[in-house]
């Protein structure tokens, strides 16, 4: 094990012990101090960001990538605003989840405590640096950040501003550490630091997540991949089907809770698909349909096998005809990512069957999948949407960054 | 990927879909049918067990190992009784964890559902076969069992009896599958079957657990290692200290919530240790003490560095002198396994400090660590005691074998 990573791990663990005991007021003051520091230093942030942008342009990196990397006054303000919001969340640490007496008189309580040390591995959006550090601090955790090398200058200045601001309020500087050494092997060391890291959270593309899961020996929380479906049943109300399909596809196509595939009951093809296709196309959506569906939408592109498992994250939708709910559920089982799935139907039986049998973090009847979101579910913001089954499922608020411990107050009880 | 494991994984996944929808009554009837079948087939079980015992004796395996492997009428009865108890637990599946309306009128509920497919890897106690299968069935999960090769005949007959009994009640046979192929490489394949296995649970020694964690790409739930401490503060009441120390060490030394090390405040050495040592020795305990403590217990063995991290699981205790609570907590941090930790003190300040700062699944003031147990905490039996922080911490009941999903009932809502 590299000494460099070990030192970072140790420092984080030491800081986490102090953080676990810091009260809510101090954490919130530290976060508000970050808000001020971000706004005051926006020129400096943009200067450092410009170095990353220059290097990226020289490397000929794609425009969309450069767009995600770019920090403007507007975006810095939005980052600061995000921290302000996190300060306003209620603090999960110290919450008594339950409390009950043992029959021998001991008082048992289950109390919420921080996880300890988080490791966040992410790609090139520098706002994640601030967002993740703020969420960690709010939940009393230390965090080790490993951002993409293309954003190294931006991440470096953001970390510096963050740490300067929180240490002024008495938070230990080990609370937030950015790995500055660009050696890629360090990521693998980081996710195997079982003595110091309590959980690894990858944020980014499928490749990054798979690599982390394959190499990690610390527990991993997986978030975000969303190949979501809307199934339009034979008994779907046409207006609901059109509204929900168009909303779920087009309201914000680049996010994980947007749909990628429409599953349409064969009996609904004729009465719904022509209107639906018209609506989709009017909203700029490209359609890739199977053979049966193509008969009702002449001129649309034919779907290929690969379409069923693609998360387009853009204005493209695939359409698959199914013989009924059983085939729809089988398709979702096979190609879905257990994120968000919806049915449009007026049938009580089909609605219940879909809710019971579809295995996903969120399952909808007659509503858009776009609601799978911490804010919409009332959790006050989110770290991500868990598509795994252990620890947390669905939108994760700061509470997902905590665990519990049992506290037992006795007066001499023995067994 | 080996076809053999893949087939087992697929079959388990298929069964898990059916199991998720089976009602409580059917699951309980199937479990009661297992109870009957175990009792009716005890001769057959003993015959198969005798084959394992014969092979073990020929290999010259230790007596304590052979004892754990042996199935008697008494032990078969106790296994059946365990299944009966699991049938009597309340069913966690379908429980509504919370439910709330969205401001747009959608009804959101978080509902408890099975995890799906469990993989249990364990050593040679054949009762785990029955116990794990029954817990899986109760919580609506399919299970893949991989027992120690020394118990292959015993596990084989127990699986057969279990599956015959549950299929008679309409439970699919894929619900419980024992891996009969002795190839050790299959374990590594099993814990990398991410498409089919939702969680791996190793039960056994430290070596087994470490190997599983190092190789697994599916999530792992870690249970059980317990290097637990009792800290006797300078302000400890002597009678409480004696009772709790002797109980926590001797009431059942072979279990994970028994203590291995006593940490004694230097000011308590003279007033407590001589009496304590007398009580321990009277209960058959071997003491290994540090230099300072040895002055008060002439004739005791000297402790070596290795003692502080050893889970004796027997009538041995190590004794370490500390200068105060800070050193006690540092020692626990360094050598503990985050299982159960206790302080004996009459000081409010020390009690609160210990409760707040010790990082473990269960932290006690003035009570024995032996209470960390699903039954004692009122969870109706347990799968194990989680010493990790994600998903479940402390005693895990059947509920720890479930996850949740959000169900959203709308009438056309879009975002």
Q: CATH number of the domain that A34 lies in?
A: 3.40.605.10
Based on the fold, state whether residues A178 and A257 are members of the same structural domain.
Answer: no
Is residue B89 domain-resident?
yes
Chain A contacts of B237, Cβ < 8 Å? Answer: 412
Q: Name which of B113, B201, B389, B395 to mutate to probe chain A: the one with the most chain A Cβ atoms within 10 A of its Cβ.
A: B389
- Distance, in angstroms, between B407 CA and closest chain A CA? 5
Q: Which residue ranges of chain A lie beneath pLDDT 70? A: 1-2, 380-381
pLDDT score at A375: 84
Side-chain half-sphere exposure of A270, counting CA atoms within 13 A: 1
Closest CA to B236 of B227, B245, B224: B245
Q: Are residues B70 and B20 in the same domain?
A: yes
Residue A183 lies in a domain: yes
Q: Determine the distance in angstroms separating the CA of B167 from the nearest CA of chain A, rounded to an integer.
A: 21
How high is the pLDDT of residue B311? 93
The minimal CB distance from B388 to the residues A219, A364, A407 is found for: A219
DSSP string across B348-407? HHHHHHHHHH--SSEEEEEE-GGG-STTTTTSSS-SEEE-SSSS--EEE-GGGGEEEEEE
Give the C-alpha separation, A169 to A146, whole Å.
Answer: 24
Place of tokens 């050495």: B269
The shortest CB-CB distance from A21 to any of B357, B361, B404 is to B357
- Provide the number of CB pairs (under 8 Å) joining chain A to chain B: 201
* Contacts A20 to B, Cβ<8 Å: 356-357, 359
Structural domain includes residue A272: yes
Residues A280, A214 share a domain: no
Q: Are residues B201 and B234 in the same domain?
A: no
Strand order in the sheet with B117-122: B176-178, B142-146, B117-122, B199-203
> Is B413 within 8 Å of A371 when comparing Cβ atoms?
yes
pLDDT score of A222: 84
Give domain status of residue A92, yes or no: yes
Do A103 and A217 have their domain in common? Answer: yes
Looking at the structure, tell me whether residues B32 and B73 fall in a common domain: yes
Identify which of B221, B371, B408 has the shortest CB distance to residue A362. B408
Last residue of a domain, one of A201, A222, A243: A222
Whether residues A23 and A137 share a domain: the answer is yes
Task: Tell me which chain A residues have a C-beta less than 8 angstroms from the C-beta of B393.
Answer: 403-406
Are A250 and A358 in a shared domain? yes
Query: What is the structure's pLDDT at B375?
Result: 84
- For residue A381, what pLDDT is reported? 64
Which segments within B69-207 are labelled E, that is strand?
96-101, 107-114, 117-122, 142-146, 176-178, 199-203
Q: Is residue A35 part of a domain?
A: yes
Q: Which of A108, A198, A217 sits opposite B389 (nearest CB)?
A: A198
Q: What is the mean pLDDT of each run of 10 residues along chain B (415 residues)?
A: 88 97 97 98 98 95 88 96 92 95 97 97 89 95 96 97 98 97 91 94 85 90 89 98 98 93 98 97 97 94 97 95 98 96 98 97 98 86 84 91 97 97
SS3 content of chain A, % helix, strand, coil (to 5): 45, 20, 30
**What CATH number did the domain enclosing B331 receive?**
3.40.309.10
- Show which of A353, A371, A389 is a domain's final residue: A371
Q: How far is A415 from chain B (nearest CA, A)?
A: 7
Query: Among A367, A394, A414, whose Cβ lies nearest the Cβ of B247?
Result: A414
| Number of domains within chain A | 2
Same domain, A210 and A320: no
Whether A399 maps to a domain, the answer reads: no
Chain A residue numbers touching B355 (CB-CB < 8 A): 407, 409
Q: Describe the crossing of helices B238-250 and B266-282 by its angle, rounded to 10 degrees.
A: 50
Q: What is the ipTM of this complex?
A: 0.89
A27 lies in the same domain as A100: yes
SS3 B60: coil
pLDDT in tens, A95-105: 999 999 999 99
pLDDT given at position B299: 87
Domain closes at, from B222, B245, B260: B222
- Residue A391 counted as domain residue: no
Range of the domain at B235: 228-371
Q: Does B204 map to a domain?
A: yes
pLDDT of residue A348: 98
Domain co-membership, A196 together with A218: yes
**Which chain A residue has its CA at the smallest distance from B197's CA?**
A389
SS3 B342: strand
| C-alpha distance from A142 to closest chain B C-alpha (Å) | 15
Do residues B330 and B214 both lie within one domain?
A: no
Q: Do residues A116 and A142 touch, judged by C-beta distance below 8 A?
A: yes
């Amino acid at each position: 094990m590299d000494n460099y990573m070990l030192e970072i791990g140790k420092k984080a663990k030491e800081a986490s012990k102090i953080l676990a005991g810091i009260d809510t007021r101090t954490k919130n003051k530290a976060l508000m101090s970050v808000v001020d520091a971000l706004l005051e230093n926006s020129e400096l942030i943009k200067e450092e960001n410009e170095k990353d942008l220059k290097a990226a342009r020289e490397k000929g990196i794609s425009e969309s990538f450069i767009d995600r990397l770019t920090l403007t006054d507007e975006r810095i303000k939005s980052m600061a605003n995000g921290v302000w919001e996190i300060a306003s969340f209620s603090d999960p640490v110290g919450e008594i989840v339950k409390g009950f007496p043992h029959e021998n008189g001991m008082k048992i309580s289950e109390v919420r405590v921080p996880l300890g040390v988080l490791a966040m591995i992410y790609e090139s959006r520098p706002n994640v640096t601030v967002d993740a550090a703020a969420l960690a601090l709010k939940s009393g955790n230390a965090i080790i950040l490993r951002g993409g090398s293309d954003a190294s200058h931006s991440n470096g200045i953001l970390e510096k501003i963050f740490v300067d601001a929180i240490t002024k309020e008495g938070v230990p500087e080990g609370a937030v550490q950015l790995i500055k050494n660009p050696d890629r092997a360090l990521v693998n060391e980081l996710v195997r630091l079982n003595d110091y890291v309590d959980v690894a959270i990858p944020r980014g593309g499928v490749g990054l997540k798979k690599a982390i899961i394959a190499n990690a020996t610390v527990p991993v929380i997986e978030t975000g991949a969303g190949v979501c479906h809307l199934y339009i049943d034979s008994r779907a109300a046409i207006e609901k089907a059109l509204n929900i399909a168009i909303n779920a596809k087009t309201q914000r196509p680049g996010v994980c809770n947007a749909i990628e595939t429409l599953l349409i009951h064969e009996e609904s093809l004729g009465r719904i698909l022509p209107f639906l296709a018209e609506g989709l196309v009017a909203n700029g959506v490209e359609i890739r349909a199977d053979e049966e569906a193509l008969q009702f939408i002449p001129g649309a592109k034919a779907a290929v096998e690969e379409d069923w498992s693609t998360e387009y994250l853009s204005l493209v939708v695939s359409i698959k005809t199914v013989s009924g709910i059983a085939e729809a559920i089988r398709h979702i089982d096979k190609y879905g990512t257990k994120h968000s799935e919806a049915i449009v139907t007026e049938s009580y039986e089909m609605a219940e069957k879909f809710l019971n049998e579809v295995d996903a973090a969120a399952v909808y009847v007659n509503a858009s999948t776009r609601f799978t979101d911490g804010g919409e579910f009332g959790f006050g913001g989110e770290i991500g949407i868990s598509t795994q089954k252990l620890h947390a499922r669905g939108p994760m608020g700061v509470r997902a960054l905590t665990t519990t411990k049992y506290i037992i107050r006795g007066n001499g009880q023995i067994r």
